[in-house]
Amino acid sequence: MTTRRIAVVSAGLSNPSSTRLLADRLAASTVRLLEGEGIEAEVDVFELRDYAHDITNNLLTGFAPAALETMLNTVVSADAVIAVTPIFSTSYSGLFKSFIDILDPDALTGKPVLIGANAGTARHSLAIDYAIRPLFTYLHAEPVSTGVFAASSDWGASGDQVAPLGERIDRGAAELAEAIARRSPAASADPFDPANYLGEGRSFGHLLGGLAGE
């Protein structure tokens, strides 16, 4: 069976980062649940901090330096994306949005996404649903219904005792695993393949309009 690929994008800025910690938990849980279904999955984890200068340069010049280009290709060709950002000033971080802004607007269309976010207090938890989810909806990605928010307190005894972080991670991961399992493995669409920009079996005459082809 084809190995599925999950791209994890973590926008945490510190090192070690609790954003990354949450991202790793989400990824590990997803892979474990897929294994239970007999589906093998690989994970590529990217810390946006490592690409921060390249992302800025891409914004300024319009093209991605080689390392960033490789990373972008890995993300947009993955079977699913786990996207985790710290909440800054009630929304996703600026670096996270800059990363989204350099993606081709169609790049995430139809792609299952598991959203994660973290902040100092649980009072920011709705940012997932008023800020991050609409962003992925706009991109025509398919974020699973559970977004996982981790407040600092969730990492200790003072966290949510009724719906503890571990359970919420597993719930989001289960939804993502299910979304991956019910899809065919992602096929890469080469934008320079005439079948993709013209449509299968079509000719430039179709772009001109009214022609029946060659």
Partner 1 sequence: MNDTTTTLNPQASAMQFGIFTVSDITEDPTTGRTPSEGQKIRDAITLAKHAEAVGLDVFALGEHHNPPFWSSSPTTTLAFIAAQTERLLLSTATTLITTNDPVKIAEDFAMLQHVSGGRMDLMLGRGNTGPVYPWFGQDIRQGLPLAIENYALLHKLWREDVVDWEGKFRTPLQGFTSTPRPLDDVPPFVWHGSIRTPEIAEQAAYYGDGFFANNIFWPSEHYQRLITLYRQRFAHYGHGTPEQAIVGLGGQVFMRANSQDAVREFRPYFDNAPVYGHGPSMEDFTEMTPLTVGSPQQVIDRYAGMRELFGDYQRQLFLMDHAGLPLKTVLEQLDILGGEVVPVLRKELAQNRPAEVPDAPTHASLVAAKYRDQGPQEKIPNSNRGDNLTGGAPYRETAGTTGSSFGVAATRQGA
Pairing of strands 112-119, 142-143: parallel
Q: Which of 101, 197, 199, 213 binds partner 1 (CB under 8 A)?
A: 197
Q: Which of 1, 66, 157, 212 binds partner 1 (CB under 8 A)?
A: 66
Q: Specify the residue, 153 or 203, whose C-beta has the smaller distance to partner 1.
A: 203
Single out the segment in contact with partner 1 by CB under 8 A; choices: 31-39, 112-120, 130-138, 186-194: 186-194
Q: Specify the residue, 163 or 211, whose C-beta has the smaller distance to partner 1.
A: 211
- Distance, C-alpha 109 to centroid of its chain: 11
DSSP class of residue 50 equals: G
Name the minimum Å distance from CB 165 to partner 1: 40
**197 Cβ contact list (under 8 Å, min separation 6):** 191
Q: Which of 56, 121, 137, 158 binds partner 1 (CB under 8 A)?
A: 56
Q: Which of 1, 15, 16, 61 binds partner 1 (CB under 8 A)?
A: 61
Query: Taking CB under 8 A as the criterion, which residues in 116-175 touch partner 1?
Result: none
DSSP class of residue 131 equals: I
Residue 32 CB neighbour total at 10 angstroms: 13
**184 Cβ contact list (under 8 Å, min separation 6):** none
Residue 191 sits in the site that holds partner 1 (CB under 8 A): yes
Question: Measured between alpha carbons, how far is residue 151 from residues 6, 64, 83, 94, 154 in Å?
Answer: 24, 33, 16, 19, 5
Q: Which of 45, 122, 181, 198 binds partner 1 (CB under 8 A)?
A: 198
**What residues line the site for partner 1 (CB under 8 A)?**
56-57, 60-63, 65-66, 69, 191-192, 194, 197-198, 204, 207-209
